Amino acid sequence: MSVADRPVTMRQLIDAATDELAAAGVGSPRVDAELLAAHAAGTDRGRLTFTALDDDVAERFGGLVARRAERIPLQHLTGTAAFGPVDLHVGPGVFVPRPETEALLEWALAQPLPPEAVIVDLCTGSGALAVALAAGRPTARVIGVDDSAEALTYARRNTAGTAVELLCADATASDLLADLDGAVDLLVANPPYIPADAELEPEVALHDPAHALYGGPDGMAVIDRIVDVAARLLRPGGLCAVEHDDTTSQRTVEAFAGTGHFGSVTARRDLTGRPRFVTAVRSE
């Protein structure tokens, strides 16, 4: 019996939705059911207990649950994704920001930078890192770069009303932002890094753009080139953080160390304890 066929209270609808999503293989069925209920009711998840249930809300909720059971990403159904301190517009055609990347964000926000720092976010996608960094460093100049016109459509919505600059360009180009050579204080990147033969959940494999996911046979094709771009753009003492697949931490460390242009190359983990990103300091 589908959620739409189970009337009564909001709590009972959510219970039924949880069962339906769990049976479909959704990894977080209860959380997703509650978030979809809140979206259908136009309220916050924490206020669901106090939300009146009517036929329109129940029908909307049932439709959303049915689509989520087809493994359509939650964020595509709600149209938003939370990332650190910001909520972002997302949907088909743009990579959905992951909570794991918030570890990189927290590291970047904790670094000592000049008030008017120049920050570059390569492979910005929805603009997640750029927008969150600009929110945390309001006097910095923040530039987001991506070569996907579709992704930048979302990024423009997310950066509206901020000072973030967006550039449609290849993040690995040898002449990218050439006017900033040796002048960037912080460079971050969440590039395509998944090895080509990796098995992914349907939400990712079928709905995130492949261009934003795969980094060649070993996942390092884009990272290797971004390391070279970082070496050119960063000032002496400038900082860099690049996210990677959890199987390529050592390989990413070697990419930085092998240039001879970086020191303090450090592998770092996300909140789940998985290897997630590497940081480095541009040598003097």
**112 in a labelled binding site:** no
Cα distance between residue 29 and residue 109, in whole Å: 32
The response to whether 54 counts as a known ligand-binding position is no
| 3-class DSSP state of 278 | strand
The two structure tokens encoding residue 94: 């743009």
Q: Is 190 annotated as a binding residue?
A: yes
Annotated binding residue at 193? yes
| Angstrom distances, CA of residue 239 to CA of 21, 165, 236, 248, 258 | 42, 20, 9, 20, 17
Please list the residues that pair with 176 across neighbouring strands. none
Residue with tokens 């219970």: 15
Q: Distance between CA 28 and CA 25 in Å, rounded?
A: 9
Give, to the nearest 10 degrees, the angle between helix 55-69 and helix 10-23.
10
- Sequence letter at residue 6: R
192 is in an annotated binding site: yes
What is the number of alpha carbons within 13 Å of residue 66 lying toward its C-beta? 11
The rounded distance, in Å, linking the Cα atoms of 257 and 249 is 12
Q: Do 36 and 26 form a contact (C-beta atoms < 8 A)?
A: no
SS3 243: strand
| Helix H or strand E segment including 59 | helix 55-69
Residues flagged as binding site for substrate: 190-193
- Binding-site residues, please? 146, 190-193
- Residues in binding site for S-adenosyl-L-methionine: 146, 190
